[in-house]
Amino acid sequence: MRYGVAVFPSKKVQDVANSYRKRYDPHYALIPPHITMKEAFEAEEEEIENKIIPELSEIAKNTQPFSYGVYKVSSFSPVTNTIYLKIEPSDEIFELNDKLHAGELPEEKDFAFVPHITIAQKLSDEEFSDVYGSLRMLKFDLNDKVDRFQLLYQLENGAWSVYETFRLGKG
């Protein structure tokens, strides 16, 4: 089965992201707005229960909650026509990402970690140009706190569901 690790932002941040995702993200119905902390990976349920969940519990216990800000939109162009809310980089979010790619956890990374919340993807070049042109002029002043992360699994229809939640700084 396919699994991943994500942080779900507060309702306030999700509402802002969804106001764009409804129109510009074909994955809108498959997963709420999120920060991908570990890309999808394959694992057996036994491995999840015996190795990965204990490792994630330990990471969460040894990571303190932290805050982040979102102040603008950015994109992955020209690699993909994806537009996202840019998470202001912090040591804490990069440290958590590093921990989630060490120890017993699958280490593969397809891309360098860029903390973000996708708001538009799979746009044609023309759509991308129009949408990004207008969105990048906007200023955001969103502040949020990370106090947990979720282990997700993918359903047969492509949707993602929470398998387990890990609270930061809790034993």
Contact 102, 3 (CB under 8 A): no
* β-pairing verdict for 83-87 and 160-167: unpaired
* Active-site annotation holds for 116: yes
Could you tell me where the DSSP H helices lie in 6-124?
A: 11-24, 45-47, 53-61, 91-99
- Which residues have C-beta within 8 Å of that of residue 32, sequence separation ≥ 6? 8, 14, 18
Catalytic residue among 20, 28, 34, 60: 34
* Active-site annotation holds for 34: yes
How many helices (H) and strands (E) in the chain?
A: 5, 8
| Residue count of the chain | 171
CB atoms within 10 A of CB 142: 18
Catalytic residue among 21, 38, 99, 116: 116
* Cα–Cα dist 74/96, whole Å: 22
Q: Which residue numbers are catalytic?
A: 34, 116
